[in-house]
Structure 1
Amino acid sequence: IASALQSVSSMYEPISHSTAYQKIKHLIPEQSAQAFKHQTEKWFIDMTAWGHTEDQKALREKISAAIDRLSTISFTYTSASGETLLRETEPYTLVCKAGHWYLYAYCLVRNDFRFFKLNRMKDLAILHQTFIRKDIQLDTLPWDK
């Protein structure tokens, strides 16, 4: 758990992760502290891409804030085929898969849930319109498609 919390901090740094890590660390008896440190430093998983920019981190934090407030967002999105459209969505979940960040959101243009790759998003705006969150099951999402 401690290693996972440290690794998550490479992608996203809310205060709760560092607080949770500190609580776990304080549970370790002093005589085991060095062994704990060795074990938790054995693995570090950094899911960010090389050349990771602060712009991407700021975008994730802005989307995360919209998710917390249940606010719709709009952005210009360029698809893999090069088509560029203005999208308005109800943001649900930020997903990091294979080092790439995606937004899983209900698209108000397509009237369906969609994945949006963050590095294809531009001009993101948090709108004043709020939404009622639909029930989703993350374990049944099409992660391999």
Structure 2
Amino acid sequence: MATGAFDLLHLGHVKFLEASKRRGGRGAKLVVVVARDKTVFSRKGRLPILPEDQRRELVGSLRVVDKAILGHTHLDLLGVLREVKPDIICVGYDQNQIKVSVQKLLRGERLPIRVVQIPKFGHDGLNSSTGIKRRVATSWRDRAKPRRSP
């Protein structure tokens, strides 16, 4: 199982999901839990650009993904775990706090599920939604400036 917001789907997301599926071993099925809009807002202080249904559909359309579902409301990870019954939970390179919270929950519930943190893919800035948003904003700002002819 892999989790994330997957706002502005990009190659870093695809590589994360491919690595997550590989961690499951031969014949593994990858279920991806896409964060709800409310969850993204509570964690990041802003709504995602793409609504939850579109993000889930985009993620689900990827060949590497066997099933994409929306997370439960009210950050009910235990409910998701009961529904999906994963052997492994994969989190992104930037999800240290989530990793610790999930591990604590699993210990408390005595669930034999491993939590794996997948490393970052690439270094060019276009492997993160934030990097892409910055580049788009800069591009639009640059286009708005008056240009001199060459």
TM norm structure 1:
0.24
Which of the pair has the greater relative contact order for Cα pairs under 8 Å at 6+ separation?
Answer: 2
Q: Which has the higher strand share?
A: 1
Q: Which has the higher helix share?
A: 2
